[in-house]
Structure formats: C-alpha cells, structure tokens
C-alpha cells in the first residue's frame, strides 16, 4: 500500500507533486478503482495525490454550445445535474446506473475514463457524445478526443503518474438530436454490464444524420460502429432500416466467451438486439436510458 497521501490544491501543485516523486506518485480521485488495485498489489505508487479538492474539478457548465465538465464530477453529480439531464441525458443516465450509491457518490468521470475498462458506463456515453478531455502536463495542456483516448484494457492516453485530466467537453446536442443508452446486467446492484450500447443521432425530416453508435465490452476499447453509422447516415429512420443496421452491428462485433458475461455468440446477438432497441428509441424521440436485468 502507499506510504503518503497528499492533497493537491491546484492542477499545478498536483503536477509538481507528481514530478517530485518521479513516477512513484499517482493521482487518486474517488479511489473506487485505484484502492482496489492497491489492495491487489497492482499499483506500486508510494504516494497518492488526491485531486478532489482542486477548485473547478466539479463544475458543470454550458458555454458557447458546449457542455464543460470538471474531470472530478462524480457520478451522483452528473446523474442529478439539471443541466445534464436536460442537455445530455445520455451521460446523466449512464452515471445513474453505475454501481451503488457509495460508488456513485465518490467515483468520478476522470477515474472512469483513466481506469480505461471497455464497458465503463460514463466513458461509453462520453465517447458517444464525441467528447474531448483536457490533459495537463508539465509541458502544457492538450485536448484529447475521447474517440482516440482508449489504448487497450486498462490503457489510455493519460499517464496518471505525470499528467492530470482537468476538464471534459462535448457539444450540446441540438433539438433534432436523440440519444439512448441500453444496458444489460445481472440483477445485482454492483454488477458490471454484460453489454452496453449508446447511440446518438440527429433525426432530420425523418432521416438519420451524424450517427454515433458505441458498443462495449466487445473489444479492448469502447467500439464505435463506424460502418453501421455510415450505413444509417441519410437513411429514413424506419423499422426496416433499423433492423438492417442492427444486423450489420451484430456482424461487426466479436465479443469473446466470458464466464462472467456469457458466450461470445450470445453477446454478439445481444449487440444486434440492443443496437436495434437504442436506434428505435432514438428514432422515436426518446432521450432516456434503460437498464435490463
Ligand atoms: C463495487 C463497484 C461497482 C462499480 N460499478 C461500476 C459500474 O457499474 N460501471 C462503471 O462504469 N464502473 C463501475 N465501477 C468502477 C468505478 O467506480 C468507476 O470507474 C469510477 O468512475 C472510477 O472513478 P474514481 O474517481 O473512483 O477513480 P480512482 O479509483 O480514484 O482512479 C482511477 C484511475 O484514474 C486515475 N485518475 C483519477 N483522477 C484522475 C485525473 N483527474 N487525471 C488523471 N488520472 C486520474 C487514477 O490514477 C487511476 O488510475 C465500480 C466500482 C466498484 C468498486
């Protein structure tokens, strides 16, 4: 386990503390993933640098047509924010179904992204919303598109031993956009998803536009079904088109057999069913998520 637990009061101070310990220190937010990793001996950090007291880490704003979130926004804050429920119900709904209340009260969006588990609920929604993360390092700040953020199971483009994710942003969806979140999990409060699907699209004069579909866990990273998105672009939002897209979705995913989540064959069929349901709801004008148990 760690030797020292330090609180950073600013992003610069967090960077300074990380740099001073030369790879031996690591950021912590809610600790819902990291403490378990430490207990399992999977995290060798001697020093933990807590970022939850940095001002601005919990902000939720809308500016110039974009939603701006502090990276330390917790799942409870995201689920209960009136702004997100109105402007990005996909994200608030995804956060509402994470773990139990204790996990939601302290678990953060940054932690969910940097832990980089492919089925993570908030990450899935943020990828579907075409979000970006601002990452601060000693060299400066950069924006990383979340579509390029994941690099494998547990791997991402942020190094929490030398960098701090500070902010998340995505464009607010216009009034012609719809979004849906579908989730299948076992009937237990703490169950991780067997399958997770998020779909975002504009529906203009009955036709799909700017479609984004993300499925997980069917690959080491949340998977954008770009072929399926291209298929839907400009097509009428009819049951026939949606069924065809769902069949295409099922043909594009290759989930592995999992003792925890079921066979690859079952989950491949499930991906088709859940993409169909999500698209039906997008076409029908719904804005909410749904969890199946
Ligand atoms: C019982 C239980 C149930 C759960 N259920 C779900 C679920 O249903 N769905 C789901 O998606 N997840 C679930 N989780 C996983 C977890 O709660 C989430 O991934 C959570 O969002 C992690 O956030 P955190 O703030 O606790 O991260 P931490 O554990 O503090 O950190 C996770 C990683 O992020 C890094 N990090 C934290 N903040 C920053 C930052 N600002 N910049 C850079 N790096 C940073 C840390 O160094 C670490 O590598 C569950 C966990 C538990 C224990």
**How many angstroms separate the Cα of 281 from the Cα of each of 16, 22, 56, 141, 214?**
47, 49, 35, 38, 15
Where does the pLDDT of residue 259 fall: very low under 50, low under 70, confident under 90, or very high at 90 and above? confident
* Residue 43 in contact with ligand 1 by CB distance below 6 A: no
Average pLDDT over residues 265-275: 95
Q: Nearest C-alpha to atom 7 of ligand 1 is from which residue?
A: 98
- Count the Cβ atoms, other than its own, within 10 Å of residue 133: 25
Q: Does residue 293 have a pLDDT over 60?
A: no
Percent of residues, the chain, with pLDDT higher than 90: 87
Task: List the one residue out of 34, 59, 32, 221 whose CA is nearest residue 124.
Answer: 221
Rounded Cα distance between 144 and 156, Å, is 11
Residue 179, ligand 1, Cβ within 6 A? no
Which residue's alpha carbon is at the smallest distance from atom 9 of ligand 1? Answer: 98
Does the C-beta of 32 come closer than 6 Å to ligand 1? yes
Q: Which residue has the tokens 């601060």?
A: 136
Are the CB atoms for 144 and 164 separated by under 8 Å?
no
Give the pLDDT confidence of 139-164 residue by residue, as tens digits: 999 999 999 999 999 999 999 999 99
**Residue pLDDT, tens place only, 105-122:** 999 999 999 999 999 999
Average pLDDT rounded to a whole number, residues 275-291: 81
Q: Which two tokens stand for residue 80?
A: 């209960």
The CA–CA distances, whole Å, from 275 to 16, 122, 149, 185, 246 equal: 45, 18, 23, 16, 6
Global pTM? Answer: 0.83
Q: Which domains does the chain have, with CATH numbers?
A: 4-50 (3.30.43.10), 60-170 (3.30.465.10), 179-292 (3.30.390.50)
CA–CA distance, 236 with 203 (Å, rounded to integer): 9
């Amino acid at each position: 386990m760690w030797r020292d637990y330090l609180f950073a009061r600013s992003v610069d101070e967090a960077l300074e503390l990380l740099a001073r310990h030369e790879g031996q220190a690591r950021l912590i937010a809610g600790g819902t993933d990291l403490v378990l990793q430490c207990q399992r001996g999977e995290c060798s950090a001697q020093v933990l640098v807590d970022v939850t007291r940095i001002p601005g880490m919990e902000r939720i704003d809308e500016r110039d047509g974009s939603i701006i979130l502090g990276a330390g926004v917790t799942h409870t804050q995201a689920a209960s924010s009136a702004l997100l429920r109105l402007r990005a119900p996909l994200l608030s709904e995804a956060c509402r179904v994470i773990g139990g209340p204790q996990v939601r009260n302290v678990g953060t969006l940054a932690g969910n992204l940097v832990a980089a588990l492919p089925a993570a609920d908030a990450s899935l929604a943020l990828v579907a919303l075409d979000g970006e993360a601002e990452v601060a390092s000693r060299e400066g700040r950069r924006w990383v598109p979340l579509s390029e953020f994941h690099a494998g199971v547990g791997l991402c483009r942020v190094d929490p031993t030398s960098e701090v994710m500070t902010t998340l942003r995505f464009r607010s969806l216009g009034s012609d956009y719809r979004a849906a979140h579908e989730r299948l999990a076992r009937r237990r409060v703490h169950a991780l998803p067997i399958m997770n699907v998020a779909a975002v699209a504009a529906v203009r004069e009955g036709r799909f536009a700017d479609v984004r579909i993300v499925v997980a866990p069917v690959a080491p990273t949340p998977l954008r079904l770009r072929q399926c998105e291209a298929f839907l672009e400009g097509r009428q939002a009819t049951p026939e088109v949606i069924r065809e897209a769902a069949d295409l979705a099922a043909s594009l995913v290759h989930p592995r057999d999992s003792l925890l989540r079921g066979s690859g064959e079952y989950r491949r069929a499930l991906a088709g069913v859940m993409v169909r349901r999500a698209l039906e709801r997008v076409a029908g004008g719904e804005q909410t998520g749904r969890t199946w148990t």
